[in-house]
Amino acid sequence: MNVRPFRFAPERTRVGDFQERLARARQLPAAADPEGRLGIPGTELARLARQFAEFDWTAFAARVNEHPAFLVRRGDEEVHAVHVRSEAPEAQPLLLLHGWPGSFLEFRGLVSTLTRGAPAFHVVCPSLPGYGFSTRRLDGPCNVAAIAAAMVELMDALGYREFLVQGGDWGSAVGSELARRYPERCLGLHLNMVAIPPPPEGDAARAAVSAEEAQWLKDTQRFLAEGMGYYKLQSTRPQTVAVALGDSPLGLLAWIAEKYLAWSDRGANGRSLVADAAILDAVALYWMTDSIGSSMRLYYDEWHERAKPTRVEVPTGVAVFPREVARAPRAWVAHRFNLVHWSVQARGGHFAALEAPELLVADLRAFAATLAGLRRDRA
């Protein structure tokens, strides 16, 4: 497969167009809604829009290019990935998978730590097909199974036969499908979100729910009832909403920022643990790559051709963050996965790599140590 270096350079005309559209944007009348029950609070949107008016696009390009990146050609498509090898002799390959409305940039602050610490990893952090700099055709489906295959091909192209996988959101779904379909390639699967149905009626695992986990299920049900409107829209009419979001910087900011703010944990000051700068970078990347429509297409493709949730036998570790939008009881997870590592974290939400990076890294390393122990036991 063809692998070539990649560097991002923002187009001046596209930057100017963004700035002009943002300056002309109209904010419609809205109710005071500090809890965000109607959508993104107006004060939050206004604050972020003001920051975007002074956004440093040169500094943004430097952040995008902070680590070596490559484009791997697959037919008439290309997969973009950050790839940084560790100098540690015992380092293992690690595939980091993002979700929506995320990107490879969520892991930017983890790369150096993961390559230099102990245990160390050779880090591969791709943009999923249709996201950021990774392309995908829109005249046919590209669901979770297809993306899992693309990720295996990517690791082949970079020279890795076996590797660890870490993911949340769509990264969790892709990682799980990769482990399910290619168990001989996946050394271990680490997830910070597991969205699964309950075990069947009559199975003992279905009732094995602690008091804390029962509250998790209530929280998840509340999210499913009140927070899934975007999912229904993106899985049924993605191209309609993409027209509006791809034409309006303010609209794109509102759509994406609302998810970061609603799905994240809060600090002592009451503010989201996801920094404003990270939200602006996410929106800037979607705008500069015209990828909001192609990213949302994954919802449609998976909705119409879902992966079958058979049990994953690859050794699996799960880190549960308290503000994750969907949390499953341990017994339910063990019913679906070969669960060898489980932790409940002190803080963080859906965007663990941005909210609590040190906790995510520590848990990933603890999982890797567990896997090493299992290998020694088998030897």
Q: For each of the chain's 379 residues, which pLDDT tens digit applies?
A: 689 999 999 999 999 999 999 999 988 888 888 888 899 999 999 999 999 999 999 999 999 999 999 999 998 999 999 999 999 999 999 999 999 999 999 999 999 999 998 999 999 999 999 999 999 999 999 999 999 999 999 999 999 999 999 999 999 999 999 999 999 999 999 999 999 999 998 898 899 999 999 999 999 999 999 999 999 999 999 999 999 999 999 999 999 999 999 999 999 999 999 999 999 999 999 999 999 999 999 999 999 988 777 999 999 999 999 999 999 999 999 999 999 999 999 999 999 999 999 999 999 999 999 998 888 888 6
DSSP string of 87-146, one letter each residue: S-TT-EEEEEE--TT--GGGGGGGHHHHHHSSS-EEEEEEPPTTSTT----SSS---HHH
Q: How far apart are the C-alpha atoms of 99 and 102, rounded to whole Å?
A: 5
> 186: which residues sit within 8 A by CB, 6+ positions away?
162, 163, 164, 165, 178, 179, 314
Task: Note if 299 is an active site residue.
Answer: yes
- Tokens 């490879």 correspond to 104
Task: Tell me 70's DSSP state.
Answer: E
Of 118, 129, 126, the closest CA to residue 84 belongs to: 126
**Neighbour-count burial of 366, counting CB atoms closer than 10 A to its CB (0-12 exposed, 13-18 middle, 19+ buried):** middle
Q: Which CATH architecture has domain 3-24+33-378?
A: 3-Layer(aba) Sandwich (3.40)
| Positive/negative CA dihedral, 101, 104, 105, 106 | positive
- Please identify which of the residues 265, 299, 301, 335 carries the catalytic annotation: 299
Task: Note if 76 is an active site residue.
Answer: no
- Tokens 């909705």 correspond to 303
* CA-to-CA dists, residue 323 to 57, 94, 196, 327, angstroms: 31, 25, 17, 9
- Please identify which of the residues 80, 169, 190, 281 carries the catalytic annotation: 169
The strands making up 92-97's β-sheet, listed across from edge to edge, are 3-6, 69-74, 77-84, 121-126, 92-97, 163-167, 186-191, 312-320, 337-344
* CA-to-CA dists, residue 204 to 199, 216, 331, 336, angstroms: 8, 19, 9, 13
